Amino acid sequence: MKKELLIITIGLLFIGCHYNKSTEIQEEQPDIILPPEVEFNVLVDSSVLSNDSLFFFLDFYGLPSVMFNNVIIDILNDTTENDFRIVIDTLLAQSICCFPSGKLFTVSQNRLRQFIDNQMQDVVELPSKNMHIEKAGESSLYIYGQIIADKDTVNMLYLYNTYTQEVSALLKDKRIIVAMAGNGDSTYIALENSLFLLANGKSEELLSDISIKSIAVLNNKCFVATNDFVGVFCGTNEFIPFINKGAKKLLCNGYELYILFNNGMLAELTNIHSFDDFCIKIDSLLTQNQAISN
């Protein structure tokens, strides 16, 4: 059964917010409502990352970086030394992923390429030139994009094991694949205006009528970015916006959530595991309200 989006107003709850900002960064603070343990820190102001051609990703150390025309930029480095590193490749990379193990992958044209022996090498031929990659846990990649199959245009999601080099198909759909996040065994995926969970060979619709731009996952909590806000899906149909500002990319590393806002500002949320208790309190509040209404 189709599940409708439920947005819960949390302004009256006992939820506080920590907001830290460097004195050198003069950004207008968005409206924020967070668990008390979570801190919101502005890392880079909007003048630096406003170019839509920048590709935002996490480097080998799990720190936010951007790629532009095969140049990787360490955006958190305060000095000019080692700010730039070149992805040595003759083909323009349209997507990139790094792993703590030191593995680096790119997509160029219809090829998945890996940095091996100090050069980029083809490892998989892809079904079209419209493919992109995202990390799936610590050992796999999601490969997704639009292909032509049996003279029909469809959108495919594959899983690539970086150790065995095995490729398996996870999803085939007419709808555009907007974003995904997970570990390969369970995957949250945004298809046009809906959010789904893929697990154990089954697909479950979690939210509908919501235009998602990016998602990130920690402890089965799915963080969602739209053009208007950033929020968290707590399960059982509850979606709670906590930042009243649109974002175009979310990336999670450990207990930190990096947010690239639409205007180019980069911020982080720390201690995001505190959203576990946050969602429990929301669920308890909903249960009490339901009991009162009955």
Q: Do residues 66 and 149 share a domain?
A: yes
Residue 23, in any domain of the structure: yes
Quick one: pLDDT at residue 28? 62
**Domain presence at residue 203:** no
pLDDT of residue 5: 41
Question: Which of 174, 208, 229 is the last residue before a domain boundary?
Answer: 174
Q: Is 63 in the same domain as 124?
A: yes
Q: What is the pLDDT along the chain (294 residues), one digit of tens a residue?
A: 444 444 333 332 333 344 444 434 455 667 888 888 999 999 998 777 878 788 999 999 999 999 988 888 888 875 444 445 666 678 899 999 999 999 999 999 999 999 999 889 999 999 999 899 999 999 999 999 999 887 889 999 999 999 999 999 999 999 999 999 999 999 999 998 899 999 988 999 999 999 999 999 988 789 999 999 999 988 766 788 999 999 999 999 999 999 999 999 999 999 998 888 877 776 555 555 554 555
Residues 146 and 245 in one domain: no
On whether both 143 and 227 belong to a single domain, the answer is: no
258 within a domain of the structure (yes/no):
yes
User: Is there a single domain that holds both residue 121 and residue 27?
Assistant: no
Q: Domain for residue 292, yes or no?
A: yes
In a domain, 212, yes or no: no
Q: Are residues 262 and 241 in the same domain?
A: yes
- CATH number assigned to the domain comprising residue 108: 2.120.10.80
Give me 64's structure tokens.
Answer: 């936010």
Question: Among 151, 154, 150, 194, which residue's Cα sits nearest to residue 174?
Answer: 154
Domain membership of residue 192 (yes or no) is no
Could you tell me the residue range of the domain that residue 227 belongs to?
1-50+220-294
154: in domain: yes
Any domain includes 184: no
Question: CA angle 202-203-206, nearest 5°?
Answer: 140
How many domains does the structure of the chain reveal? Answer: 2
156 in the same domain as 63 = yes
Instruction: Record the pTM.
Output: 0.85
Rg of the Cα atoms in the chain = 20
Residues 62 and 147 reside in one and the same domain: yes
